[in-house]
Each structure stands twice: as C-alpha cells, then as structure tokens.
A = this chain, B = another copy of it.
Amino acid sequence: MKPILVFQTDFTYKEGAVCAMYGVVKSVDRELEIIDGTHEIPQYDTWSASYRLYQSMKFWPEGTIFVSVVDPGVGTPRKASVAKTADGYYVVTPDNGSLTHLHQWVGITEIREIDERINRLKGKNTEGVSVFHGRDLFSYCAARLASGIITYEQVGPAYPLDEIVLFPLAEPVMEDGKVKGVFEIGDPNFGNLWTNIPLAMFFEAGFNYGDYLNLTVRHEGKVVFKEKLLFQKSFGFAKKGEAMIYNNELMRVSLAVNQGSFSKTYHLDFGPDWEVEFEK
C-alpha cells in the first residue's frame, strides 16, 4: 500500500488553501490517502509545528509521509526539504525550525532539498506564484513521493544534517531535591501547559502520585505563580476548578485545572523564558 499523507499547516479551513493542496495530491494520484493532522497550528509558529510533528508521528504506520507547512519564509531562500527520520517516517517541510524536536529527540538520518525544476507543479497558471509552496511544491512533491513516481533520492540533492535549522531545546535538571525545567508547549484547547520534565525524573526525585508539590513559575526571571499542588495521574483526582500536576500523554510533567484552563486562569504561557521549579 502507498504511504498515507498527513498534513499540518497554519492555514485553517477558513479559505480554499487546504482544498487546493488536496486537489493537487489527488491529481497526482487518485489512490493516495490524505489525513488532516491539523490546520490550526498558530500562525507562523514553527516551534509548535515542530512539537506537533514529534507528538503524534510515532503512532502512525512506518513510512507515513508528513507534510508540514508553517512557512512564513515562503518564496525566500529558506530551503524546502524532505527529511527522513530514524524511525522510518518522511517529513516534507520548509527547513525553518520545524524539524527541531524530531532531529533532537528521534533523529533525522537524511535530508534532501526539493528540486523545484522536477518536483514543482506545472501549468494551471501557477508558475509565477511564489506564495503557496504548500500547493505548488510541498503537496505536489509529497504526492509524487507517496505515489512512487519519484524515489526519495529523486526529491533533490541531500545536504548535511548539521545544516538543519534548529531551535535550542532546554534540558530539565534535578538538584537539591528540586526539579527544574520550562513550559515547552501547551494544549491550546484545554489550556494545559506541558513541561519538558519526564515523569521518570519526578520519580527519581522522590515525587509520587498523591504528593502535594510546591510549584514556582518564573517568567523572564520573575515569580508569576507559586502554589502547592496535587500531583496525580489524571484530572479527575483534583476538584473541579482546581489546579493540579499530572503526567501528560507523552510522559511529561504537566499542569492543568480540572475542567478548566490552567493557562488562562493563571495567565501563564510557554516558551524558553517560562521556567518551572518543583519541590516537596
């Protein structure tokens, strides 16, 4: 069977962009299967694009091709690429930071720049367009790869892995009975905030489900939140409306309000300048 194409963009469904991309895929090969990853990545947010790729990829069949188009630099000299991961997936994406988490946490074993002379859509009055590589380059090239019209090698020339554009990734630490990290991403729907601290580090530090832990959050160095909170397996162990610490779907320590939004309630957000510190 031909690999599935999973798409993620910051286009939303508010206008016809996604529809045009999917038409291109189906015009290359009617048999290809297209799945919406999400089209609601925050606008221009290549960090979130990177995290979302990491978050769900491993649950897909090996060989699945991800097309990620969060592309503020479209039509400028940033590279349009297809990466191959250590666990056997492909990612078609602008090389603009969107590959950070996969490269650091899973491994990218090869990356190729899309050769526009071969793998760009022709006709339909698209040749003069510079603003929609999602349609003219990424979807078209991904469809050709999925269909077997081109091999991975025919995407275009490989380039060194150390040229991949990366964001810095903060590392969590454990010292003096404290566990320190950052909020590295959020769940914009439920308002949870996810740290970069693995559950295992909590256990190592002697923190266990049922404990109450002191959490201090600093934004740009300044304390913006300080409370003692329950650490439990899931939301329902806290009272409705109560903040709590839990183990998220990727086995990382996270913060929630049971049936509420932790992020909105306490005006907190994620990024390298949002530091967290847990202690008993």
Chain A residues close to B by CB (< 8 Å): 1, 4, 6, 8, 10-24, 26-27, 30, 34-40, 43-44, 51-52, 55-61, 64, 72-76, 124-126, 128-132, 135, 187-190, 199, 233-237, 246-251, 258-259
Contact A6–B30 (Cβ < 8 Å): no
- Residues of B contacting A24 with CB < 8 Å? 59
Interface of A is mostly: loop
For A38, give its contact among B19, B30, B235 (CB under 8 Å). B19
Report the minimal beta-carbon distance from A3 to chain B, rounded to whole angstroms.
10
Contact A75–B38 (Cβ < 8 Å): no
The residue on B at minimum CB distance from A8 is B19
For A251, give its contact among B20, B72, B128 (CB under 8 Å). B128
For A30, give its contact among B10, B55, B61, B129 (CB under 8 Å). B61
Complex-state Cα separation, A251 to B123, whole angstroms: 12
Given contacts A6-B19, A188-B14, A249-B132, contact A72 B235 (CB under 8 A): yes
Contact A249–B20 (Cβ < 8 Å): yes
For A56, give its contact among B20, B34, B59 (CB under 8 Å). B20
The residue on B at minimum CB distance from A194 is B15
- Residues of B contacting A131 with CB < 8 Å? 233-235, 246-249
- Residues of B contacting A23 with CB < 8 Å? 6, 56-61, 64
The residue on B at minimum CB distance from A256 is B131
The residue on B at minimum CB distance from A29 is B61
Report the minimal beta-carbon distance from A255 to chain B, rounded to whole angstroms.
12
Q: Which of A16, A72, A190, A249 has the most CB of B within 10 A?
A: A16
